[in-house]
Structure 1
Amino acid sequence: MLNYTFMQNALFISVFIAILCPSIGIFLVLRRYSMIGDTLAHASLAGVTLGLLFNQNPIVGAFVFTSISGALIEYLRNYFQKYTDLILTIVLSLSVGTAITIISSGKLRVNADSFLFGSILTVTKSDMLVVLILSIISVLTLIFLYHQMVYIAFDEDMAKIAGVKVKRINYLFSILVASAISISIRIVGVLVLSSMIALPVATALQLQKGFKYTLLYSIFFSIVDILVGLIASYYLNVAPGGFTALVSVMVLIVVMLSNKLISNGKVSKQN
């Protein structure tokens, strides 16, 4: 399997996906913004189609359009304070409408289906370089803003009182989400990308550890999910994105059942 260049490329990108997605996802989940990740994942398809339309790298196109969409969500969040449920609908309509219009126009020379479902065959050397650059910038930004983002994740109002520049960091965070999504789109695909952002975090939360341990466990579960999904999809000849999502759900169920059995065992011992 590893004799094939496309599998080497896919595994290279998968490592960055496994680290970056839950690192971003934990802040989205704790702020109850996991649906924003799903909306931006769909927005990335518009960026991909625009990149393909203008013969540019689709990952760069996804990053640019998703960053703009994330900034738009943050702006609308302040504008529609009483109708926040409208925000995601507006951005989703804009992005999906753009993508469908471009795809149906017949002007694309490349089939965009691989970006919907994920494909290990389409990863190129230029994609790997873009992923490496975006990952390094994103990780450094996360490290630099870590404490402020933790403040905001648990209590945005208290963070403002403490002097954290919440609005500026929220805009930067939307760019980080865009980076994680654009990095993942080649392997995971648009339709199930949000699973890599949210499900490893959901699994780690079942362990009921502190924030740092939850983050580390999220990355661990993410690595397990994507490597098992990628390797199994190669042998089963199925799309890696969909199978990785199934693996993520199965791991979550196993951890939940294990917690249930352990708690029941403790109760029976006490009785």
Structure 2
Amino acid sequence: MLQYEFMRQAFIASTFIAITAGLVGVFVVSRNMSFLSHTLSEIGFAGASFGVLVGISPLAGMILFTIVSSIAVGGLSNESSRREASISAMSSLFIGLGILFLSLSSKSSSYATNILFGSIVGISSKEVQQLLALAIFVIIIFIIFYKPLAFDSFDHIGASASGLKTRLLSVIFLVTLALSVSIGAQIVGSLLVFVLLTLPGATAKYLAHSVPKMILVSVGLALSGVWLGLYLAFITNWPVTFFIATYEVIAYFIGLGYKNYKLNH
């Protein structure tokens, strides 16, 4: 399998994508922002479609839309009384915009398929380099702000009382989440990128009891999911997204069953 250059590039890109998604996903779950990763995936679809329309790379358009929108939508998350309706309205708007942008562009329908479902096996060397740079940037940001982000994510009240700049930390997290959505969409597409950003982290919560261990478990599940998905997609010619999503869902229910078993015994 690895004798083919496109598969080697796919494995390199997917490895960094999985590390980023697994790392960020732990904080997505702890901050109860799974809904936001889902919304950003739909916003990313509109951004990628906009990029196709105006002649820039879909990744650049996705990053532009998700970063701006993540901060705006993140502010709505504090208004619990109107949160669900506001998020649903924005999701609907951006899905509509994405479809409009694609219909106005001169590109073929294959572009829409790639945006929605990913195209990791057709990724170019330049795109791999871009993904690696973005993934490394996100990882560095988390290394720098790891302690305050972990404190704020798992004990927001305590972080506020101790004088941490929680608003600034929130903005930093939202920007890294937006970048992670844009990165992850390259392998599983904007339609299912939230799978990598939520399920490994949610499963890790059932299997580990400290932040470092949760990160290790989450990254491990994301890595094993994308590696197995690429291998099975290669030998079956089925979509890699199907295998990744199936693996992560099965792992989640196994983790949930383990948690329930431990509580009852």
For the criterion TM > 0.5, the same-fold answer is yes
CA, structure 1 residues 226+70, in 2 after alignment: closer, same or farther (shift >3 Å)? same
Give the match's secondary structure for 2:207: coil
Partner of 1:101: 100
Post-superposition shift, 1:262? 7.0
**Distance (Å, rounded) in 2 between the aligned partners of 1:38 and 1:242:** 17
**Distance (Å, rounded) in 1 between the aligned partners of 2:61 and 2:211:** 33
User: Are 1:10 and 1:123, in contact at CA under 8 Å, matched by a contact in 2?
Assistant: yes
Give 1:113-132 correspondences, 5 Å limit: 113-132=113-132
Partner of 2:234: 234
Partner of 2:165: 165
**Distance (Å, rounded) in 2 between the aligned partners of 1:195 and 1:222:** 10
User: Are 2:50 and 2:102, in contact at CA under 8 Å, matched by a contact in 1?
Assistant: no
Post-superposition shift, 1:27? 0.8
Partner of 1:89: 88
Post-superposition shift, 1:175? 1.1
Q: Note the alpha carbon deviations across 1:115-168, whole angstroms, 9 max, x for none.
A: 211223331122112111111211111111111111221232332221111112
Partner of 1:7: 7
**Distance (Å, rounded) in 1 between the aligned partners of 2:183 and 2:201:** 18
Post-superposition shift, 1:257? 4.4
**Distance (Å, rounded) in 2 between the aligned partners of 1:168 and 1:76:** 16
Letter in 2 for 1:158: G
- Which structure has the bigger radius of gyration? 1
> What is the TM-score of this pair, normalised by structure 2?
0.92
Would you say 1:58 and 2:40 are equivalent positions? no
Letter in 2 for 1:105: L
Post-superposition shift, 1:173? 1.1
Letter in 2 for 1:100: I
Letter in 2 for 1:189: G
Quick check: 20-29 or 67-76, which moved more?
Answer: 67-76
CA, structure 1 residues 136+69, in 2 after alignment: closer, same or farther (shift >3 Å)? same
Would you say 1:154 and 2:150 are equivalent positions? no
Stretches of structure 2 that go unaligned for 5 or more consecutive residues are none
Give the match's secondary structure for 1:3: coil
Give the match's secondary structure for 2:106: coil
Give the match's secondary structure for 1:32: coil
User: Are 2:206 and 2:258, in contact at CA under 8 Å, matched by a contact in 1?
Assistant: no
Post-superposition shift, 1:65? 0.9
Give 1:134-145 correspondences, 5 Å limit: 134-145=134-145
User: Are 1:18 and 1:223, in contact at CA under 8 Å, matched by a contact in 2?
Assistant: yes
Letter in 2 for 1:249: V
CA, structure 1 residues 262+92, in 2 after alignment: closer, same or farther (shift >3 Å)? closer
**Distance (Å, rounded) in 2 between the aligned partners of 1:232 and 1:12:** 16
Would you say 1:180 and 2:184 are equivalent positions? no
Partner of 1:215: 215
CA, structure 1 residues 120+131, in 2 after alignment: closer, same or farther (shift >3 Å)? closer
User: Are 1:45 and 1:115, in contact at CA under 8 Å, matched by a contact in 2?
Assistant: yes
User: Are 1:192 and 1:242, in contact at CA under 8 Å, matched by a contact in 2?
Assistant: no
**Distance (Å, rounded) in 2 between the aligned partners of 1:168 and 1:261:** 39
Q: Percent identity?
A: 28
